[in-house]
Amino acid sequence: MGNYWHTDKFKAQEIKDKLDDGTFSVPIFQRGIVWTDKQRADLMDTIKKGLPFGSILLYKTGDGKYQIIDGLQRSTAIHQFEENTAQFFSEEDIDHNTIKEIVDMIGAGGNKKLQAEEVEKELYQWVKDNHKSLSDVEHMQFSKFGQHLAKKYPTLQAKVIEIGDIIEPMMQSYQDICKQIRETEIPAIIMEGDQSLLPILFERINTKGLSLSKYQIYNATWPTKRYFIDDKFNALVKANRDRYDTMLDGSAVIEDYDPSAFSQAKELTLFEIAYGLGKYLCEKWPHLFGISNSTKDVESVGFSLLCTCLGLKNKDAQNLGVRFDELLGNSVNNYLEAITNCIIHVDKQLGKYSKFKSNSRADAGKRPLHTEFQIVSIIASEFLLRYVDLTLDENDNVTNVNLHLSSSNPNWKKGQKKKFENNIGKIYISEILSEKWKGSGDHKADAVLINPAMYTKDVSKQEFESTLDAWFEKHNSERSEIARVKTPQSPELLLLAAVYLSEFSAEQQVDGSTYDIEHLATKKLMKTHLVDRFDSELRLPISSFGNLCLLPEYENRSKKDATIYKDDSYLSKSTMSITDLEDKYTFTTKEQMDWLYDNTSTKDEFEKHYFSFINSRFDIMKKKMLDNYDNL
């Protein structure tokens, strides 16, 4: 069919009516309403001032209806103006001389400027509370504002009609502006012809600027074939229904979308599968994937996992639609289940670090210690080893992907699984300490396609110890602190978990007890020395990992500035002896910290004492990790 287009115009009222009766609908690949209240108000102000504001692009369907291809934000802003006109009542609509005249009528003493501000505030409130729609504005009864104001200023009781007469010219001007907006003709480009080209048109319109993310463009450009989703993955269907139910805020309808039919059919496009997968992963494993944002936001992790597990580089994600259908066909649910199996297994190996209940105020269990691409790379590594045979060319590009989702690879069962379990924790920690995934990380995740076995590599104790030493030296060199002390970051939280996991029983992990990450040489005491004694001439890594410990949190704790050896109140609340606390939590003795209370040491001596202290503590903590090496 040939494509052609022509121009037309629609009044604002017409657009509102056509959105309401479904004549104007929204293609399912649209992203929903994203404009802020200010953006909508700016559009109304532009129309009010008679300035050009662009056109809308519509596709006319065979039944005489229209799909909004471009201009959704403007169209729904106009709809909201008609539905809630008072929302757009602004300071520019108020005549300050009129307000001054009303203030003079009040006749009370006091600050006239403040009274004027109060009257303006009352006018705003009266308009917004009593004139929601454009029809309400058109039938405004001005004297009722006099009645409203007289409740606040009794001296106006006999002047209600007069106040109505005073505000009449000002409010009639506002009514005229509202009618002008309603009668404004909105330019429209109307296209007819091949409907299959609409996603291409949508993509080209939105790649000219920054209005859409790449994921939202995938929604329009990926194939629209639908795949049946088993009940076990109904969370993906629900996530998409929630998205569609909230994306337009009632301002329009989505083409061919019925909430009940959508839930019953359980059929999703590839975009919907990737979107729903991201929401599902964040909800079920927040310690691995983070907390999900609002339904309008797209979690990228679902897209990244689907791509990498099918042997696609992230930069080639636009090709996922073709590969997805070629490789999976009717095996989509088996694919999702295989990915889930890998996540469950990886969570068993690594979830303990992010879920470790270190600082009770640090939202433990909901804040990953790694980047998205690191965890995607790890999960994809297991998936590729278990379920995929990859063929690479001489340039390390994937040329063939052979899936066998019904059972694991023989090599995985024979030895790769055990090597993965033995080494993944050490590699995971080493990657975070070496900042391997610093930056965007998308191209780094592609490395797993070249070497899926990268997380089965044996890591010796010596290699791991060298990594710890290098990190600790760099970590201390980057912390030059005196007043502002850095809070524990992912590497410190990770290593604290690695140290204390071996100290905690399984029962302690789930018993509801809470803990604090503490500085043994407290920040206050350190600052007292560095600032008061040494005139801020000495800076030290106060937040060094060697100065951190985990301590049980007791109600109304009074430790604050004191070390555990000086805080009698804290110790009195503990069921542990000081020796128990030392053995299980601080790994110190009182004598090791006496230097902190020595006010006779020189600056050089104090610095030497501090580094000796954090280095010796790090050695102890490192030994605990190495003693527990097989369980990391």
Kindly give, in sequence order, each residue whose CB lies less than 8 Å from that of residue 138, ignoring residues fewer than 6 positions away.
Answer: 175, 178, 179
- The Cα 99–Cα 103 span in angstroms is 6
Out of 196-205, 491-500, 513-522, least confident range: 196-205
509 confidence band (pLDDT: 50, 70, 90): low
**Model pLDDT for residues 219-236, shown as the tens digit of each residue:** 767 778 899 999 999 999
Tell me the whole-structure pTM to 2 decimals. 0.74
Q: What is the pLDDT of residue 512?
A: 60
Query: pLDDT for 472-506, tens place per residue?
Result: 999 999 999 997 899 899 999 999 999 988 877 65
**pLDDT, tens digit, 9 for 90 and up, residues 317-351:** 888 888 998 999 889 999 999 999 999 999 999 99
What letter does residue 547 receive in the DSSP assignment? G
Query: Which residue, among 441, 470, 445, 467, has the nearest Cα to 455 in the 3D structure?
Result: 445
Alpha helices in 356-489 (DSSP H): 372-387, 410-411, 417-433, 442-445, 447-450, 461-477
Nearest one of 496, 544, 457, 504 to 353, comparing CA atoms: 496
Report residue 210's pLDDT band, with 50, 70 and 90 as the boundaries.
Answer: very low
pLDDT level of residue 209 (50, 70, 90 thresholds) = very low
pLDDT digits (tens, 9 = 90+) for 544-601: 999 999 887 764 455 567 787 877 677 777 777 888 888 888 999 999 999 998 999 9
374-385 pLDDT, tens digit each? 999 999 999 999
What the block records as the tokens of 447 is 């490395």
Nearest to 355 by CA among 553, 503, 545, 510: 510
